[in-house]
Amino acid sequence: MVANPLELQPYSQLDDENCRQRILAAKKALGDRLIILGHHYQRDEVFEHADFSGDSLKLSREAANSKAEFIVFCGVHFMAEVADILSRPDQVAILPDLSAGCSMADMADLNKVQAAWQELSSVLDPDETITPITYINSDANLKAFCGDHQGVVCTSTNAQTILEWAFSRREKVLFFPDQHLGRNTGAKMNIPLEEMVVWDFDKPMGGLTEAEIHNAKIILWKGFCSVHQMFKPVQIEKYRKQFPDGKVISHPESSYEVCQNSDYVGSTEYIINQIADSEPGTDWLVGTELNLVNRLHHQMKDQGKSVKFMSPTICMCSTMFRIDPQHLAWVLENLLDDNVVNQITVPQQVANSARVALKRMLDISA
């Protein structure tokens, strides 16, 4: 069952505190049958109800290892898909608002990737020379594509390990959907920028010449995260003038120029740990999603640490923000009536192939 606007209407009129009390009551009544997962980028009034918090893969694995019957993922669509793929058959994955998608994931769909693979086959044999790697921020059918073509999934934490594995098998990589994670990881491995070319899916042959394709080590999909696009080197320059002893830390979905000008680059978990483990009184400029930065700002105050958001423009993950207390209350109170709403179910054939690519990643990273 999916959301019916008429059913949701009474919930949309609830204030956050009323929702909070109803969520707490429903959680208590559901007990061990329920697990709520909260991604780091989620708004605080939803994040507080999470039984586990973290990045998408970590959360899905926590859910699969739990006793819970219902997995309510407070994140975006591809995250709930991963939870469904990795969970047991007796578990149900739920996304409180089905409109919570990911603009980056939407930049690479199966038809476009298959078309690119076909076009590349006119220049070389992709199944012999290219390993497809999809960032976990992608639809299940792209993970399945990788599973079917001896490819693999990666996260922002293990991207380098995955690329090293790929290059031990084949000479090239097709990396999608985020060009910045691919480029920043490749640069960390000392791959020259001219050997990392961008495939523009709106142009014939990705806008590349045969010579550029033959010369490339990494073919980067022209995709990006709209939040991390907001960060610029000039923001770092301004910060360093004001705080010469301050530290700059960025997520690798940020541009190459931003990452090159940062002191530290890493995943959300890495950012949290670096700031948490730093000396009291440290100043930080952070290039990642606003909700996480604001949470760190408040958590680190007692230690005298200053945590600032890199962009002067407010830029949170707008699709993640669609998960609100009202939708969460609606989902949980339906579960109290044994009524599952907004279930995420990946077709079995797609799930099987995607699971191959995900397991391959876990085995490589072990």
Q: Identify whether 353 is part of a domain.
A: no
Indicate whether 88 and 151 sit together in one domain: no
CA distances from 62 to 81, 93, 167, 256, 265 (A): 14, 13, 31, 32, 25
pTM for the structure as a whole: 0.92
Q: Identify whether 158 is part of a domain.
A: yes
For residue 65, give the CATH number of its domain: 3.40.50.10800
Indicate whether 217 and 119 sit together in one domain: yes
Indicate whether 124 and 81 sit together in one domain: no
pLDDT at 6 over 60: no
Q: Which of 81-85, 159-163, 319-323 has the lowest mean pLDDT?
A: 319-323
pLDDT at 230 over 80: yes
Q: Identify whether 357 is part of a domain.
A: no
Q: What confidence tens digit (pLDDT) does each residue in 25-72 have?
A: 999 999 999 999 998 888 899 999 999 988 877 888 888 888 999 999
Indicate whether 212 and 152 sit together in one domain: yes
Indicate whether 333 and 247 sit together in one domain: no
Q: Identify whether 31 is part of a domain.
A: yes
Which domain does 288 fall in, by range?
228-309
Q: Identify whether 362 is part of a domain.
A: no
Indicate whether 95 and 14 sit together in one domain: yes
Domain count of the chain?
A: 3
Q: What is the pLDDT of residue 57?
A: 79
Q: Identify whether 115 is part of a domain.
A: yes
Q: What is the pLDDT of residue 11?
A: 86
Mean pLDDT value across the chain? 93
Q: Of the residues 210, 225, 240, which one is the last residue of a structural domain?
A: 225
Indicate whether 10 and 78 sit together in one domain: yes
pLDDT at 4 over 60: no
pLDDT at 85 over 60: yes
Indicate whether 219 and 288 sit together in one domain: no
pLDDT band (50, 70, 90) for residue 255: very high
Q: Of the residues 177, 196, 225, which one is the last residue of a structural domain?
A: 225
Indicate whether 157 and 179 sit together in one domain: yes
For residue 151, give the CATH number of its domain: 3.40.50
Indicate whether 75 and 115 sit together in one domain: no
Indicate whether 190 and 178 sit together in one domain: yes
Q: What confidence tens digit (pLDDT) does each residue in 95-112 have?
A: 999 988 888 888 999 999
Indicate whether 217 and 238 sit together in one domain: no
Are the C-beta atoms of residues 353 and 110 closer than 8 Å to each other?
no
Q: What confidence tens digit (pLDDT) does each residue in 148-196 have?
A: 999 999 999 999 999 999 999 999 999 999 999 999 999 999 999 999 9
pLDDT band (50, 70, 90) for residue 286: very high
Q: Identify whether 83 is part of a domain.
A: yes
Q: Identify whether 314 is part of a domain.
A: no
